[in-house]
Amino acid sequence: MSDVEMARIPAGRVLRGDQRGAERREIAVDAFEIGVYPITEEQLAELLGIPARHPRRPATQLSWLRAIRLCNALSEWEGLDPVYSFDGEVVTPDAETDGFRLPTEDEWEYACRAGSTNAAYGPVREVAWTAADGIRGPVDVGARLPNLHGLFDTLGNVWEWCFDPFDAESENDARAVRGGGWSDAPAFVRATARRGGRPREAFDDVGVRVARGPMPAAS
């Protein structure tokens, strides 16, 4: 299978925001690893034993639950201990295992910003694919400029699932997706961009970028 290229993100702090309001809070993030690119159609197809129609495009139409199972499958492929266990559709992470997992929102935003305090880590037209490009779906990863961690496509192209609930105080079981996608206006493609999706829902503008490292406690 094509290797999942990972980048080491050092421990640090970041002011985490939400585009729906002005409130910002400082969060501390331990060192972890995260994918340089979103998981591609080719990587997913190799796991499933099927051909890929667009090998270098981000894999989409992955629900949160399927993204969780993808992380476990990648772990098993690499001979690592899977992070997640299931009781029906209740997912429980093992904080001590070394396998692939979804990033938390804190990790995602910290990795995306790469030290930047601006809405985006560079001019949106240079770092992200958005509705301004007139595209009709995701495009090949790595074609626009990376951030200072060497991560491509954290903004635009496809939104990315995180492990966290979209609203921890709600009984709704929606999970957070981050970063904006190919069908969003440039003004909405930013490090604070977030929306929610139910665990079984899949979308043509949502993909997944995997992480590795001890599972942080909920913030």
**Centroid of chain to Cα 97:** 20
Helix (H) or strand (E) holding 127: helix 124-127
pTM comes to: 0.94
Helix (H) or strand (E) holding 12: strand 12-18
CB count in 10 Å sphere of residue 55: 14
Residue 8 predicted with pLDDT over 80: yes
pLDDT-derived band at 26 (thresholds 50, 70, 90) equals confident
Span 103-115, pLDDT tens digits: 999 999 999 999 9
Span 48-81, pLDDT tens digits: 888 999 999 999 999 999 999 999 999 999 999 9
Report the top-level CATH class of 6-212.
Answer: alpha beta
Q: How many residues does the chain have?
A: 219
Span 137-164, pLDDT tens digits: 999 999 999 999 999 999 999 999 999 9
Cα Rg of the chain, angstroms: 16
Pairing type for strands 32-35 and 90-93 reads unpaired
Report the candidate in 209, 151, 184, 191 with the shortest Cα–Cα distance to residue 16.
191
